[in-house]
Structure 1
Amino acid sequence: MNFAKPAAALPAAPVAPKHDYSHSHHGVTVTDPYHWLRAENWQEVFKDPATLSPEIRAHLEAENAYQAALTAGEEELRKTLFAEMKGRIKEDDSSVPMPDGPFAYGSSFVLGGEQPRFFRTPRDGGAEEIVLDGDFEAEGKPYFRLGGVDHSSDHARLVWSYDDKGSEFYTLKIRDIASGTDLPDLIANTGGSGDWDAANTGIFYTALDDNHRPSKIFHHRLGDTQSADRLIYEETDPGFFMSVGGTRTNDWIFIGINDHETTEYRVLPAGDPAAKPVIVAPRQTGIEYELEEGGDVFFILTNSGGAKDFRIMTAPVADPRPENWTELVPHEPGRLILAIMGFRDHLVRLERKDGLPRIVVRERASGEEHMIAFDEEAYSLGLVGSLEYDTSVIRFSYSSMTTPSQLFDYDMKTRERTLLKTQEVPSGHDAENYVTRRMMAKAEDGELVPVSILHHKDTKLDGSAPCLLYGYGSYGITIPASFNTNCLSLVDRGFVYAIAHIRGGKDKGFAWYEQGRRENKAKTFRDFIAVARHLVAENITAHDRIVAQGGSAGGMLMGAIANMAPQDFGAIVAEVPFVDVLNTMLDASLPLTPPEWPEWGNPLASSIDYGRIASWSPYDNIAAQDYPPILALAGLTDPRVTYWEPAKWVARLREMKTDDHPVLFKINMDAGHAGASGRFSRLEEIAYVYAFALKAVGKV
């Protein structure tokens, strides 16, 4: 490979000490000598990183020193890449304001600014008014990320939130817009958003417990202390996520409770915060539904009644129990309904068929439907939504791997489409210089796996081109074939950029997701390997020219394919990788473990699930074999994929592997799951990854 062994002047790779530790489940005893990297006081560390034990901190800092030394020669390349990517961003960019009553609300950046500013403009004309300046709020903080920002329906106040640790414990504040000052109200340890009651005298919010779980919904009355907030609902099952949201009509507050396969909604009038929430449909394992406003009815998107790809029902708001549901849009196998939006005269749905998205508009009075779609071979389409219910205009975005994002307003009555904005690429972009296509790779069981590909028109596809192959494949998340200015820095250097739409996502319908979860999880990994082999078989690239990349659950994918087919990849990039799956799923105290059991299986309760997860869990399947160069990235305060997962994985890889390729571990000591919080700081992280990829294939 193109990574040289460290010179004598460079530090040796850190060797993590081994401490005796073992655990037994279902008659199986496992030793885990790197378990000590899991801070016993992890809850405290999330809130105050300074409380991390000196031994763990010393090891993580040694990892950072090692990767910094080995990549020191890439500094100029990283600067060049950063400058290129920054040059493709309109620094003083601004969103198209979204109308709501007498104002339109939007966000913008200033030249050199890391954080967004939120503004509003009077719809009848007048000067722009800054209601929240993210750069000002972030000043002097090593990490700062804004959460939800929501104005009251009387347009007098703003509820906003921030996280200054990276641990996703958000603090809520209330701002008086006219004076630009925050009220004394301060609400800590929330999920990051607040929703106004109908009278604009208080907000509903989700509180996180010490284990970072959204366990309670409160109503906060302006002027009260947090200790006086009224408990609206408490979820006692740690296996469920919870959220709260309001409707655009300000009529209802929705409390959503779900895991990865089951949903329950509770509703209460937004004008009566003291009301007891009413259950719409009690939770029933395997039954999912989403609630949407519709005036005198609720629209319900659900898989009930065997509707695997979902159908749409209506229910009277006066009594929305399942026995009162009426089918409006029936289930159609192979047409996956992804989302719905209700308006006074229309119902809009976003759906996916034959692997491509489309928007369908339905006139409520007549039931007549029409479709918004595009002709490209691979593209991304998204509903932006609306702040208003009584409107005939929706907003949507469109892009492809060669086409910069376009924002449209669409009048559902006249069917007139208005282009509001095209993404600007200040350094220039000519779509004619690039080629995008969709391929199908045959998996080992015969299924055809879609692959989206982007390359420069001058790149020769003769087997010599390097390739960045990206994958995710979990939670039903579909990776769109959308425009990405960052990857052009690789594509312009001769890379093929490819997205593997593997099982575990919903790219080919809900069944595609089912075939890549729980007992079928290994198909996700085999699909990705099959895509890599297909790209080689089609003479697009070669195995030692493929850099595989994935983050979070996609990082788990990276860990699995590294064990299963290390010879098929020239290098692997695993960002915030979920690689210690078995141990995490055995630890019910961790924030996401109980809610994740439906996705992966519950190894605490089931010996079968234990065996299945153990058979592919990346950390548990590291073998004495050659591995390609590997780069792992993490954040110290990450509550989703805890820092010790990649730390343990890297330690065991170095212990077991039989080659001299480097394993690098870069941990951000001031950030969490999303990495650096500023838009330019994030580009620096991407430049670091791309420099690694270029070096791996000899492009530097």
Structure 2
Amino acid sequence: MADRVSPPVAKKVPTERVHHGDVVVDEYEWLRDKDDPEVIAYLEGQNAFVEQETAHLAQLRSDIFGEIKSRVQETDMSVPTRSGRYWYYTRTTEGLAYAVRCRCPISADDDWTPPEVTPGVELPGEQVFFDANAEAEGHDFFGLGAMSVSHDGDWLAYSTDVKGDERYTLRIKNLVTGELLSDVIEGVSAGAVWSLDARYVFYSTVDDAWRPDTVWRHEVGSAEPDVKVFHEPDERYWVGMGTTQSDEYLVIGVGSKVTSEALVLRADDPTGEFVSVAGRTEGVEYSVEHARIDGRDWFVMVHNGEQAGGERAGGEKAVDFAVDIVPVDDFGARRELIAHRPGRRVEDVDCFRDYLVLSYRADALPRIAIADLRRIDGVPVSDDFVEVTFDQELRSAGLGANAEWDTPKLRIGYGSFVDPSEVIDLDVATGERTLLRRQPVLGGYDPEQYTAVREWAVAADGTRVPVSLVFRRDLDRSTPAPMLLYGYGSYETCLDPGFSVARLSMLDRGVVMAFAHIRGGGEMGRMWYENGRTLTKKNTFTDFVDVARHLIDTGWTSPEHLVAEGGSAGGLLVGAVVNLAPELFNGILAAVPFVDALTSILDPSLPLTVIEWDEWGDPLHDPEVYAYMKSYSPYENVRPRAYPAILAENSLHDTRVLFVEAAKWVARLQENTTSGNPVLLKTEMSAGHGGVSGRYKQWEETAFELAWILQQSGALTN
């Protein structure tokens, strides 16, 4: 029998930092240097320890991988989406890791019914215009950053990343001849936008802190230097670019966490100057779309600033956002379209020739409502928007792929915790819905065997926190059940109902899936987010603890059966929670966890740091923020205590949450835990923030995680 491996003990190299008079000695900061062979050896040693400690789960992992694979229709295709002269769709083929992008010509200008599809069968005139499998060949990792077809359908701009660091190489392909042009642009950010005449491609690049800060215009086929069309010097702001739904305007979006600006340029004038629609006001966020209403062109502006006229005039901010319209030729003549209503968080308005579609959330669920411009005399108001309703209480609904501005039907997406996702065409005039696709789940899946419910935990300050639970209907509620409690709670991100094939492998083994909609997320409106960031961030962690206690106190589970999971900022969540209440959990899964938050946010040279000050506060210059962050940052607060079993997963090339955070955290945890429970660090050596690429590798990784969760939740002994 081979000798057992022990986790490598990280050496201690005291590194001192001083801020606001506080002296901190960090013994594991040396692990930051991924070019140091000793660091790589440490990570590889931890990986060997993980392999040893989880070897007994190999058969279970294989079983779960097989279950996922058996439920997925591997040879499949998406519903075609009309854009210009073609129907666009993707195909997957059994045995191939990546999707293939295809198109076929439309039969007539008035043809809005997508062609019937049969997985594995070509459509008439089908053209494969991008094969990710061929592009990924020879690489351990493959990711796409841009996939943009020109308006005439003749050109493709695409960018790829074969390392995982989200720095892409942009290329241009002639879709008529199949020629790959010599135009190659290295080191770009994600995304690419065509001018209306397909003569130019716009793209963005990053600064030394890997912040997208500059937009460039590239003339296709030209050897002339690319033209810088916009640069943002303020390190708090990211820069992105897109087009309006009508394709009539190019839009540069500039945004921090709390402030944004939109600059526009007619798409038929690509060498012109971008102009700002509403300037930039600290604390005001807005976005714009182009609409033609009552015979006039407008920019439709979703914003949280002062509303123009209406019931809220007088300087009050639209906390949950409102919608104004602005004449494209007179930015000063704003007027109200949709008034602010507390508790209805307006997220977006999509503009089509005949419809305006409002995306919003209320009662912790995403919703859409439609105003049919053909039935409205003049400019619509709030009451003209009619909600699209569904039978399932806990469900998600939103716009699907609608590439054409003049579409006579709207493509919408629907899903729930128990219903496989659906693609539906909605005829707004008649209300008729046509189901185009329901996600196939092989093996006789019956949604009636599962159910989802909403409960409310009460936080220490009296706040009611929603919790969604998913489980089999035949669950035995007479005893505490194995449970996975998932949370995120940052950036106003919402955990909305959605279906998961992989989740069935847990539900069918008696595990209850719980989703904690804690403060810092956006499920309950903007103030739900505001009360879980900067100097109220601890609400995120205490909400999660209170949810866990609620689930234990009401008999859903017990500490011996409860596992918590979070990734990225959710990794910060579970890292903080395990310091606050380790006794409540039998396992913690932290994926690419932001667990050395104070160290990272103190260093403005690191990727993302300065822009993150609006989310977490600025500990570098503000001693109050420094003390507050230090009081919850997981790495800072590891102490000798009985920690549950912990599995931390990270990626060597992650640029969002550097690998060193999990590496340092685990080193300190292994040194301090008194429980004897294993603390594991699994590092992907050829991946980035999103983990491994390719669906089969991703299924293997999911199977690894689920097997560990099943073990720690006690599901294997039930």
TM-score of the superposed pair, with normalisation by structure 1: 0.95
SS in 1 for 2:218: strand
* Residues 8 and 134 of structure 1, relative CA distance in 2, 3 Å threshold: closer
In structure 2, what is the equivalent of residue 261 of structure 1? Answer: 258
Residue 525 of structure 1 contacts residue 557 of structure 1 at CA under 8 Å; is this kept in 2? yes
1:329: which partner in 2?
Answer: 338
Q: Which residue matches 1:127?
A: 125
Look up the match of 2:235: 238
- CA pair 224-19 structure 1, distance change in 2 beyond 3 A: farther
Residue in 2 aligned with 1:206? 204
Partners of 1:341 and 1:385 within 8 A in 2: no
Q: In structure 1, the residue corresponding to 2:542 is in which secondary structure?
A: helix
Question: In the TM superposition, what are the counterparts of 1:515-664 in structure 2 within 5 Å?
Answer: 515-664=531-680
Q: For 1:318 and 1:591, how far apart are their aligned partners in 2?
A: 39
Identify the residue that residue 85 of structure 1 maps to in structure 2: 68
Q: Distance in 1 between matches of 2:633 and 2:462?
A: 25
Question: How far apart in 1 are the matches of 2:671 and 2:492?
Answer: 34
1:176 Cα deviation from its structure 2 partner: 1.1
Aligned-pair CA distance for 1:38: 1.2
Q: Does 1:403 align with 2:419?
A: yes
Aligned to 2:20: 26
Residues 267-287 of structure 1 deviation map (CA, whole Å, 9 limit, x = unaligned): 122222322221122222211
Name the residue aligned to 2:285: 288
CA distance, structure 1, for counterparts of residue 300 and residue 95 of structure 2: 44
Q: Which moved more, 1:207-216 or 1:626-635?
A: 207-216
Partners of 1:251 and 1:432 lie apart in 2 by 47
Residue 272 of structure 2 aligns with an amino acid whose one-letter code is A
Alignment partners' CA distance in 2, 1:471 and 1:27: 35
- What is the CA deviation profile of residues 62-114 of structure 1, one whole-angstrom value per residue up to 9, with x for unaligned ones? 11111111111111111111111122211112111111122111112111121
Cross-structure match for 1:470: 486
Tell me what 1:318 maps to: 329
Q: Any residues of structure 2 matched to 1:494-509 within 5 Å, and which?
A: 494-509=510-525
Contact 1:392 1:413 survives alignment (8 Å)? no
Q: Deviation per CA, 1:117-162, whole angstroms, max 9, x where unpaired?
A: 1111211083221110111111111101122211111110111111
User: How far does residue 8 in structure 1 lie from its aligned partner after superposition?
Assistant: 8.7
Residue 344 of structure 1 is matched in structure 2 by 353
- Do structure 1's residue 55 and structure 2's residue 11 form an aligned pair? no
* Paired residue secondary structure (1:193): coil
Partner amino acid, structure 2, of 1:66: F
Within 5 Å, give how 1:439-454 maps onto structure 2: 439-454=455-470
Partner Cα separation in structure 1 for residue 5 and residue 260 of structure 2: 52
Q: Equivalents in 1 of 2:6, 2:275: separation in Å?
A: 61
> What is the CA-CA distance between 1:427 and the residue it aligns to?
2.1
Asked if the contact 2:560–2:714 (Cα under 8 Å) also holds between the matched residues in 1, the reply is no
Aligned partners of 1:88, 1:481: CA distance in 2, in Å? 20
Whichever residue aligns with residue 69 of structure 1, its letter is Q
Aligned to 2:305: 304
Q: Cα offset for 1:509?
A: 1.1
Contact residue 636 and residue 670 of structure 1 kept, 8 A:
yes
1:680 aligns with 2:696: yes
Q: 1:105 aligns with which of 88, 97, 106?
A: 88
2:246 to 226, 246, 249: 249
CA deviation after TM superposition for structure 1 residue 639, in Å: 0.6
SS at match of 1:620: helix
* Helix, strand or coil at the partner of 1:639: coil
What is the DSSP-based 3-state SS (H/G/I as helix, E as strand, rest coil) of the residue aligned with 2:94? coil
Are the equivalent residues in 2 in contact too, given 1:551–1:577 (CA < 8 A)?
yes
Q: CA RMSD in A?
A: 1.4
SS at match of 1:559: helix
Q: 2:310 maps to which residue? A: none
Asked whether 1:362 is paired with 2:371, we answer yes
Structure 1 SS opposite 2:189: strand
Distance 2:246 2:472 in 1: 48
Cα separation, 2, equivalents of 1:485 and 1:343? 34
> CA–CA distance in 2 between the matches of 1:506 and 1:247?
25
Q: C-alpha separation between the residues in 2 aligned to 1:634 and 1:589? A: 21
Give the drift of 1:406: 0.9
Contact 2:245 2:350 in 1 (8 A): no
Please name the residue that 2:213 is paired with.
215
Spell out, residue by residue over 1:4-25, the C-alpha distance to the aligned partner (whole angstroms, 9 max, x if none): xxx9921111111111201111
Q: Distance in 1 between matches of 2:324 and 2:242?
A: 20
Match of 1:37 in 2: 31
Q: Could you tell me which amino acid in structure 2 is paired with residue 291 of structure 1?
A: V
Q: Residue 396 of structure 1: CA displacement?
A: 1.2
Native 8 Å contact 2:367 2:396 kept in 1: no
Regions of 4+ moved over 6 Å: none
| TM-score, normalised by the number of residues in structure 2 | 0.93
* Residue aligning to 1:144: 142
Report the counterpart of residue 456 of structure 1 in structure 2.
472
> 1:691 and 1:369 mapped to 2: Cα distance?
46
- Secondary structure, in 3 states, of the residue corresponding to 2:41? helix
| Uncovered stretches (5+) of structure 2, i.e. residues with no partner | 108-114, 116-123, 307-316
1:353 aligns with 2:362: yes
Aligned pairs (5 A) from 1:375-394: 375-394=391-410
Q: 2:468 aligns to what SS in structure 1?
A: strand
Q: Deviations for 1:470-511, whole angstroms, at most 9, x for unmatched residues?
A: 100000000111111111101100100111111111111111
Output the CA distance in 1 between the equivalents of 2:400 and 2:298.
Answer: 23
Q: Is the 8 A contact 2:511 2:715 kept in 1?
A: no
Count of aligned positions: 680
Equivalent residue, structure 1, for 2:58: 75
Matched residue of 2:241: which SS? strand
Find the counterpart in structure 1 of residue 8 from structure 2.
Answer: 14
- Residue 182 of structure 2: which of 166, 172, 184 is its match? 184
SS of match in other structure, 1:590 = coil
Shift of 1:370: 1.7
The gaps in structure 1 that reach 5 residues or longer are 1-6, 40-44, 46-51
Distance in 2, Cα, partners of 1:585 & 1:356: 32
Q: Matches of 2:343 and 2:577 in 1, distance apart?
A: 29
Shift of 1:680: 1.5
Deviation at 1:377, TM superposition (A): 2.4
